[in-house]
Structure formats: structure tokens, C-alpha cells
């Protein structure tokens, strides 16, 4: 009897809901009657997902390479999903802020710890051959990677370190974007010629990245922090979470990633060219890029030594890093 009452009440609510839609509830109930039961594989579009790994060569390890890039892009999407909620949130709720940062950090933790799949999980001989079939594609062209940076901090903090002091948030988005660090990394400094990888990326994504940068001007995650009260800004858990994000995104992921470049592209007699055509040994290390999303929370010394410890360790293994 109680069940019947509940069903009647639900029907009354449904009638109310569909009243203004131009169709009556009975038609919708017919639809419900004929609808197929939902399956797991349809819900997550499993067949589509598993059809997206299409190697360009016959080397078995190429599939690992494709899949791990795809997995990473999905995690980038999860990171952006949290970042967008932070940027949209107009409250000064510090717990919400910390909660979102922690989620982002947990995604980075997975990405950083799983990078061994790239470093140890493929045969170097296979890699060096199948990669020739994907020139000039490179992870350098990951638009989500660049979007994560744009949601995190003002463009002035993404200007190449050699010119960063000459720019500020007073400059236009277009000006700042022109001097962003990754453009310089993919430009031959003596001739000023951009790599094909960069040219393709700019053609495809410049309008979108500029639009996002304009949309989040003054509302990035860094701006959200800067806008908090003095007391909120001193919240130790918040500072820890922000620092963890900065180090995860701008040092630790880079270190693991760079480990793969060393494993596959380093040679005793001259290094192997990267598919994206950068001078990767100079471009990739975090201590050279010095990208810091939240500069205000660090001391001068911390900023000067950004990512340096690892580079010392990698290039001068006998030198103490303490
Ligand atoms: C064997 C594995 C890998 C190697 C050897 C490698 C190598 C490189 C190199 C040499 C560059 C410099 C740009 C260029 O000249 O191409 C680069 C950039 C990049 N790669 Fe990879 N990569 C690997 C895996 C990955 C994976 C799995 C991702 C995930 C999406 C990725 C994302 C990126 C990104 C985002 C950049 C730009 C980094 C920046 O601008 O600081 N890479 N990679």
C-alpha cells in the first residue's frame, strides 16, 4: 500500500514535469517501456574506446606507446575537469579549494608513478623504428597539457624564463602568448624558424588557447588564491596542496617524462633528434623551463633552485645535491 502511494506521488511529479513540454506523460511512459536496458559496454562506449588504438607500424610496442598517451590525455581531462570547477567557483570556500587541489594531485600521482610504463615497458629498438612513422607528431602538441597551464596561472608566468621579467599581467594576452615558453623551445634560435610540429600546433589550437586565456584572465587558480583573505592565504593545508600541484605539474612529471627521453634518445655519440624537433636536452629540464604556477608562495631561494636538484643529480651524479 505504501509502495502504491509512493508510485502515485511519483506519477504526479512526472505529470507536472512534462506538463509544459507539449507531450503527455503517457507518451514518455511508452518510451520507457520500449527502451532497452542499459549495459555496461554501451554506457561507457567500450567498443569505441577499444577501437581507438591504431598503430602505424607492425611493431607490437607501438600499441603501448599509443595507449599510454591516450591514458595520459584522459587524466589530463580529469585534471581540467577539476580546474574548471575551481575557476567557476565564486565562493572563498577554502575546504572546497583544498579538496579540488587534492584530487588534481592524486591524478598527477598516478601519472608520475605510472610513467615507468614508458621508460621500462618498451624495447628501445622498436621505439626508434616505429617513431619514424609518426614524424612530426610529438606530445609537445598536447593541447590539454597547455590548457592545464593556462587554467593554473596567468600567462605572464608562462613566458619564457629569459624574458619573463620584461612582461607582466598588464601586457595583452596576444603579446604574452607570443612569448610563451614552449614556442621558444620549438624555434631555431639562430634562424628564427619554427619547427613544423609547432607550426601545425599553432594553426590548429591558437584561437582556442587565446580564447581560454582571455576567459580565465584574473580568475585562474593562482588568482583564486591571491584573492583570498590574509588569514585564508596562510592555511597550511592549502599551501601544501598548491606546492604539491606546482611540483607535480612542473617538476616531477617533467622528470619522469625526461627519463623516457634519456632512455630512448640519448646516445654516446650525439643525441637522437626528437620527433618534435626541439633541442630536447636543453628544452625539457624543469630547471631550465622554470615554470612556476604560484610564485608568491615560495622564497627567493626556492624559486632560484626550481627543479635544480634533479638536474644536478642527472648530469653531475657525483655532485652532492644537499
Ligand atoms: C618514450 C616516451 C616518450 C619520449 C621519448 C618523449 C620525448 C619527448 C621529447 C623529446 C619532447 C620534446 C619535444 C620534441 O622535440 O618532440 C617531448 C615533449 C612532450 N611530450 Fe613526450 N615523450 C614520451 C612520452 C610522452 C607521453 C606518454 C606524453 C603524454 C601525453 C608526453 C607528452 C609530452 C608533452 C606534453 C611534451 C611537451 C613538454 C613541454 O613543453 O615541456 N610524452 N617528449
Does the beta carbon of 141 lie inside 6 Å of ligand 1?
no
Give the pLDDT confidence of 231-275 residue by residue, as tens digits.
Answer: 999 999 999 999 999 999 999 999 999 999 999 999 888 888 888
CA of 119 from ligand 1 middle (Å) equals: 12
Strand pairing partners for 180? 159
CA of 219 to the centre of ligand 1 (A): 29
136 preceded by cis ω (within 30°)? yes
Grid cell, residue 1, equals 500500500
DSSP state of 252: I
- pLDDT score recorded for residue 309: 63
- What pLDDT, in 10s, does the model give residues 268-311? 888 888 888 888 999 999 999 999 999 999 999 999 999 876 55
Q: Mean pLDDT, to the nearest integer, of 40-49?
A: 98
107 contacts: CB under 8 Å, gap ≥ 6: 75, 78, 79, 82
pLDDT tens track for 122-181? 999 999 999 999 999 999 999 999 999 999 999 999 999 999 999 999 999 999 999 999
pLDDT at 314 over 60: no
What predicted TM-score, i.e. pTM, was given to this entire model?
Answer: 0.93
Identify the pLDDT of residue 62.
98
Q: Ligand 1 atom closest to Cα of 181? A: 40
Q: Give the distance from CA 262 to its chain's centroid.
A: 22
- Ligand 1 atom nearest the C-alpha of 284 is 41
pLDDT for residue 190: 80
3-state SS class at 317: coil
Q: What sections of 89-195 are H helices per DSSP? A: 94-114, 116-119, 124-130, 143-152, 173-178, 181-185
The alpha carbon of 319 and the centre of ligand 1 are apart by a number of angstroms equal to 27
In this structure, the residue with its CA closest to atom 25 of ligand 1 is 139
Contact 297, 275 (CB under 8 A): no
Q: Is there a contact between 197 and 203 (Cβ–Cβ < 8 Å)?
A: no
Q: How far is the CA of 135 from the centre of ligand 1 (A)?
A: 13
Ligand 1 centre and the CA of 68: distance in Å? 12
Express the helix, strand and coil content of the chain in percent, nearest 5 each: 65, 0, 30
Question: By alpha-carbon position, which residue is closest to atom 33 of ligand 1?
Answer: 139
Pocket of ligand 1 contains residue 264 by CB under 6 Å: yes
Q: What is the pLDDT of residue 320?
A: 43
Query: Please, are residues 216 and 87 in contact by the beta-carbon 8 Å criterion?
Result: yes
Amino acid at each position: 500500500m505504501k509502495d502504491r502511494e509512493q508510485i502515485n506521488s511519483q506519477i504526479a511529479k512526472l505529470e507536472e514535469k512534462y506538463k509544459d513540454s507539449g507531450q503527455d506523460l503517457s507518451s514518455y511512459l511508452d518510451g520507457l517501456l520500449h527502451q532497452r536496458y542499459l549495459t555496461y559496454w554501451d554506457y561507457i562506449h567500450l567498443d569505441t574506446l577499444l577501437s581507438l588504438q591504431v598503430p602505424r607500424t607492425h611493431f607490437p610496442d607501438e600499441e603501448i606507446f599509443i595507449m599510454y598517451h591516450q591514458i595520459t590525455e584522459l587524466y589530463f581531462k580529469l585534471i581540467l575537469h577539476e580546474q574548471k570547477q575551481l575557476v567557476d567557483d565564486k565562493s572563498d570556500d577554502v575546504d572546497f579549494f583544498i579538496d579540488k587541489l587534492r584530487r588534481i594531485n592524486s591524478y598527477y600521482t598516478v601519472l608520475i608513478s605510472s610513467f615507468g610504463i614508458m621508460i621500462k615497458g618498451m624495447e628501445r629498438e622498436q621505439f626508434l623504428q616505429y617513431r619514424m612513422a609518426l614524424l612530426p607528431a610529438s606530445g609537445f602538441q598536447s593541447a590539454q597539457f597547455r590548457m592545464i597551464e593556462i587554467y593554473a596561472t596567468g600567462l605572464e608566468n608562462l613566458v619564457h624564463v629569459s624574458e619573463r621579467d620584461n612582461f607582466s599581467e598588464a601586457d595583452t594576452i596576444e603579446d604574452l602568448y607570443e612569448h610563451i615558453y614552449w614556442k621558444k623551445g620549438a624555434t631555431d634560435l639562430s634562424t628564427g624558424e619554427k619547427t613544423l610540429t609547432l607550426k601545425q600546433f599553432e594553426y590548429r589550437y591558437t584561437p582556442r588557447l587565446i580564447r581560454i586565456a582571455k576567459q580565465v584572465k584574473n580568475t585562474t587558480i593562482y588568482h583564486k588564491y591571491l584573492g583570498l583573505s590574509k588569514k585564508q592565504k596562510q592555511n597550511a593545508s592549502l599551501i601544501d596542496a598548491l606546492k604539491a600541484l606546482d611540483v607535480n605539474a612542473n617538476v616531477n612529471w617533467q622528470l619522469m617524462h625526461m627519463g623516457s627521453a634519456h632512455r630512448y634518445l640519448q646516445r654516446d655519440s650525439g643525441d637522437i633528434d626528437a620527433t618534435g624537433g626541439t633541442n630536447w636536452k636543453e628544452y625539457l629540464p624543469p630547471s631550465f623551463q622554470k615554470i612556476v604556477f604560484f610564485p608568491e608562495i615560495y622564497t627567493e631561494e626556492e624559486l632560484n633552485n626550481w627543479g635544480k636538484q634533479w638536474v644536478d643529480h642527472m648530469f653531475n651524479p657525483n655532485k652532492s645535491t644537499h
